[in-house]
Amino acid sequence: MMTPQKIEERIREIFDENYELLRLEGGHALTEDIRNYALNQVIFYYKKMREVAEKVTETEVKLSLPGQRTPKGRRFSIEGVVDIVREEEEVWMYDIKTHDLDFVLANKELYEKQLNIYGYIWGQLRQNQLDHTAVISTAFPIALRRAWQENDFAKAMYEMEKWNPLVEIESDPKNVTATISDFAAIVDDIEENKFEPAALETLQAEWGSSGTKFATRVCRNCDARFSCESYRRYVLGTGEKGKASFKKYIEDIAPESDQEEWLGASLTQTDFDNL
């Protein structure tokens, strides 16, 4: 069995291989700082979740619910991937998400639906034991990231101890019918090219029970926001301040020093590629 040190070494190798592959496929390079930051996030995450990782009995279990019908008669399937842990008398199902922990904790109901379906497939259709369902948040906590960047070892250790990426979410396979109906209606919308953005009122309202607006929580991470009418109206709707921040938002990609670093990283890689 590999020691934790050996596993860390292997993680570094795999990280480098993946980075190189993505760089060649996508043509984008990272600066040294960002690359180290990404690698450290993976290492911290491994250290934190090592115990759970060592207990995983089935990894990347593909769950599939074929033969579904939309309200308009279209056929579709639901698929997902989970990890399973059998521990003594209990079985846990984990769904791994990149979402940050505070958001998962504040919006458990958003994850429940997906877990209802996975639980239904695993427990009822496949007749397997299932006692708990949970989400694992892989996002790096901000406080831990800051402590690490500031080389504050004691604070980093404290934040590491506090960090609990595992959030148990009670799912109920009995609610699966309502969830499938929700998905089915979305399939019809997609097939009919109904991609209207959310209404302005939705952007202004709180999303889930996160305490933050939809615009901040969802739109901020949406690639379509630069061409989205609702988002434009949302930003401009805040008066002169909004107009100024929208202009800044479009123009201010990053501080000049960062832009130079990106350029430098890409040029170095381009030179290397041309050798």
Q: Does 198 bind ligand SF4 (CB under 6 A)?
A: yes
As measured in angstroms, the least distance from the Cβ of 249 to ligand SF4 is 12
As measured in angstroms, the least distance from the Cβ of 198 to ligand SF4 is 4
| Residues of span 151-180 touching ligand SF4 by CB under 6 A | none
Nearer of residues 22 and 253 to ligand SF4, judged by Cβ: 253
Please identify, among the stretches 72-80, 118-126, 225-233, 242-250, the one whose residues bind ligand SF4 according to the rule CB under 6 A: 225-233
Nearer of residues 152 and 229 to ligand SF4, judged by Cβ: 229
Using CB under 6 A, count the residues that bind ligand SF4: 11
Q: Does 219 bind ligand SF4 (CB under 6 A)?
A: yes
Angle at 184 (CA atoms; ends 62, 84), nearest 5 degrees: 20
Q: Which of 7, 56, 139, 228 binds ligand SF4 (CB under 6 A)?
A: 228
Summary count for the chain: helices (H), strands (E)? 12, 5
Angle at which helices 32-55 and 153-162 pack, to 10 degrees? Answer: 40
Q: Which of 119, 165, 173, 197 binds ligand SF4 (CB under 6 A)?
A: 197
Q: Does 207 bind ligand SF4 (CB under 6 A)?
A: no
Please identify, among the stretches 107-115, 140-148, 184-192, 216-224, the one whose residues bind ligand SF4 according to the rule CB under 6 A: 216-224
CA distance 17 to 103: 31
10 Å CB burial of residue 103 (0-12, 13-18, 19+) is middle
Q: Which of 230, 244, 263, 272 binds ligand SF4 (CB under 6 A)?
A: 230
Task: Give phi and psi for 92, each to the nearest 5.
Answer: -110, 145
Full DSSP string of 21-60: HHHHHH-----HHHHHHHHHHHHHHHHHHHHHHHHEEEEE
- Does residue 48 contact residue 160 with C-beta atoms inside 8 Å? yes
CA distance 38 to 274: 26
Collapsing DSSP states into helix, strand and coil, what is residue 228?
A: coil
Q: Closest by alpha carbon to 169, among 85, 104, 78?
A: 104
Nearer of residues 138 and 216 to ligand SF4, judged by Cβ: 216
Nearer of residues 165 and 197 to ligand SF4, judged by Cβ: 197
Please identify, among the stretches 68-76, 151-159, 221-229, 263-271, the one whose residues bind ligand SF4 according to the rule CB under 6 A: 221-229
Binding site for ligand SF4 (CB under 6 A): 197-198, 203, 218-219, 222, 224-225, 228, 230-231
